[in-house]
Amino acid sequence: MATRGFPEGFAWGAATASYQIEGSVTADGRGASIWDTFAHTPGKVLNGENGDVAVDHYARYAEDVALMGSLGLNAYRFSLSWPRIQPGGRGVNGAGLDFYKRLVDELLEQGITPYATLYHWDLPQELQDAGGWPERDTAYRFAEYAQVAHEALSDRVKHWMTVNEPWCAAFLGYGSGDHAPGLRSSAQAVRAAHHLLLAHGLAAPLLKANDCLVGAAPNLYAVTPVSDSEADLDAARRIDGLQNRFFLDALLRGSYPEDVVADLEPFGFADVVQPGDLDLIGGKVDFLGINYYSRHTVSADPDAAGMVATSPFASASPWPGAESVAFVNAGRPVTDMGWEVDPGGLHEILTRVAKEYPSVPLYITENGAAYVDTVADGGVDDQERLDYIEAHLAACHDAIADGVPLKGYFAWSFLDNFEWGWGYGKRFGLVYVDYETQVRIPKSSAHWYGRVARHNGLS
């Protein structure tokens, strides 16, 4: 029996993404994505690793879903591979859709509710060749893709997210170049950011049909200045603006924060937004997903590169708006990613969003930690990851007690998988994967989290 119970019907899930787990990158008509291209470009991913095989989920999905069910999860967040459903970004690949129909049927058979993300960064390469997210037409291609996926799956999938972390897709993909397609242009990055939100706005109304609910999943950070000096306070304002308020205001209010628009003016942002765009984008969600991992502690530093550890390769150019901002460690314990462990930041974000953007049901659509895992006696004792998740779930419990309408939590990630620029060097999974044999080993955190899910709360 849980002593710290969660609301009845709370979604206890885990999350993954197509390019990070599926493999089978040419099977059944799948086309190339920008991550296929990026990962196969020398110097972009540690040890030259890529998602060609990943953790072979395309072939092993039934085994993986059975494991979710046996552990006790009641929800699963996954992403659809756009180039598997629309090779080249157009048309319909029935064989690609059939995989997701099989996956969803297995989930429903296990009593697991599917939560589908349409875009988790794997843009069809041909659409990038035509300009990618800096090109406004890509938003319209996304809406068509959303329609195709929804028509095929909405009889069984009732929870849809349009875009995972538009900040990452825009500012790491087109600003710092640490993510695919690896471009370094602040002007392109701000264009991409707006068009990713426009894509959400164009697709959201379509996704509500057939009694479906639609959301998005921005990554949000608690942000704190190292001092209350004017320079440090402004650094915090800038990072909070670009990381959090830019996306929250657009998605939930249909406006951009004036200070952030001013910060982005040097990159031509004013020319990107067309009349009516923000009315399309704002107020369309039935729920908001929040991906939370840590807090940013920032200081003004004219010599700073303005980068957080987003890849093992030191990026030469900061993402737009982060110039002259240093990201510092405030002395908290850190995960294997070097990210500070700060569950208080999750409570801060949840209560802030609930207060400043009221009446929007919330989910934690990603929260988790990378730590070095070791297999011993056939198991993996990952106490640090278990402690991280427990502390963040306690913060969720406190936030709910404070009136936050939190409806679910998805641990990142169900399986160890391809961690973008870090390749397979960082393990976030509840379940360990032996990359040589593809054998799955539930870690201590998986068994513990399954008990939390079955008891609907913490002890």
Ligand X SMILES: OC[C@@H]1[C@@H](O)[C@H](O)[C@@H](O)c2nc(CNc3ccccc3)cn21
CA distances from 448 to 165, 201, 251, 293, 347 (A): 28, 38, 35, 20, 22
In this chain, which stretch among 66-74, 163-171, 200-208, 432-440 interacts with ligand X, using CB under 6 A?
A: 163-171
Taking 3-state DSSP, the helix, strand and coil percentages for the chain, each rounded to the nearest 5, stand at 45, 15, 40
- Exactly one of 24, 50, 162, 219 binds ligand X (CB under 6 A); that residue is 219
106 in contact with ligand X (CB under 6 A): no
For residue 348, indicate whether it is catalytic.
Answer: no
Q: Which range binds ligand X by CB under 6 A, 161-169, 189-197, 242-250, 371-379? A: 161-169
| Minimum distance from residue 257 beta carbon to ligand X (Å) | 20
Scan for tokens 């030469």, then name that residue: 316
Active site residue 356: no
194 is in an annotated binding site: no
**Closest residue to ligand X in the complex (CB):** 310
Provide CB contacts within 8 A for 184, sequence distance 6+: 174, 175, 176, 177, 316, 317
243 is in an annotated binding site: no
386 membership: H or E segment, kind and range: helix 383-401
- Strand 362-367 to 222-225 pairing: unpaired
Structure tokens at 158: 């009732």
| Of the residues 342, 366, 384, 416, which one makes contact with ligand X according to CB under 6 A | 366
Minimum Å gap between C-beta 310 and ligand X is 4
Distance of closest approach, residue 297 Cβ to ligand X, in angstroms: 15
Determine, following the binding rule CB under 6 A, whether residue 165 of this chain makes contact with ligand X: yes
Pick the piece of the chain touching ligand X (CB under 6 A) from 143-151, 160-168, 241-249, 375-383.
160-168
Q: What is the DSSP letter of 23?
A: -
DSSP 65-109: HHHHHHHT--EEEEE--HHHHSGGGSS--HHHHHHHHHHHHHHHH
The yes or no reply on residue 428 touching ligand X (CB under 6 A) is yes
Task: Evaluate the omega torsion of the peptide bond into residue 413 and state whether it is cis, within 30 degrees of 0.
Answer: yes
The answer to whether 164 is a known ligand-binding residue is yes
Point out which span in 131-139, 164-172, 263-271, 319-327 binds ligand X (CB under 6 A). 164-172
417 is in an annotated binding site: no
Q: Is 339 helix (H, G, I), strand (E, B) or coil?
A: coil
Site string for ligand X, 40-59 (x = CB under 6 A): --------------------
- Reduced to 3 states (helix: H, G, I; strand: E, B; else coil), residue 415 is strand
Please say which residue, 6 or 35, places its beta carbon nearer to ligand X: 35
Q: Does 342 bind ligand X (CB under 6 A)?
A: no
- Check whether 63 is labelled as a binding-site residue: no
Which helix (H) or strand (E) segment is 59 a member of?
helix 57-71
- Output 46 or 108, the one with its CB closest to ligand X: 46
The neighbour count for residue 7, using CB atoms within 10 Å, is 12
Q: Tell whether residue 310 is a contact of ligand X (CB under 6 A).
A: yes
Catalytic residue among 165, 340, 348, 384: 165
Task: Please tell me whether 40 is known to bind a ligand.
Answer: no
The C-alpha atoms of residue 135 and residue 383 are separated, in whole angstroms, by: 45
Residues 147/102, Cβ–Cβ less than 8 Å: no
Q: Which of 74, 125, 154, 164 binds ligand X (CB under 6 A)?
A: 164
Q: Does 168 bind ligand X (CB under 6 A)?
A: yes
Residue 426 falls in which region: left (phi positive, over 0), alpha (psi -120 to 50) or beta? beta
Pick the closer one to ligand X by CB: 293 or 424.
293
Q: Any contact of residue 64 with ligand X (CB under 6 A)? A: no
C-beta separation of 327 from 307 below 8 A: yes
Under 8 Å between Cβ of 76 and 14: yes
420 has binding-site annotation: yes
Phi/psi-derived region of residue 456, left when phi > 0, alpha when psi is between -120 and 50, beta in every other case = left
Nearer of residues 79 and 113 to ligand X, judged by Cβ: 79
Q: How far is the CB of 419 from ligand X (least distance, A)?
A: 5
Q: Report the nearest approach of ligand X to the CB of residue 221 (Å).
A: 8
Near ligand X by CB under 6 A: residue from 93, 291, 299, 315 = 291
Binding residues for substrate, as ranges, are 20, 120, 164, 293, 412, 419-420
Active site positions, annotated: 165, 366
The residues binding ligand X (CB under 6 A) are 17, 20, 164-165, 168, 219, 291, 293, 310, 366, 412, 419, 428
Binding residues: 20, 120, 164, 293, 412, 419-420
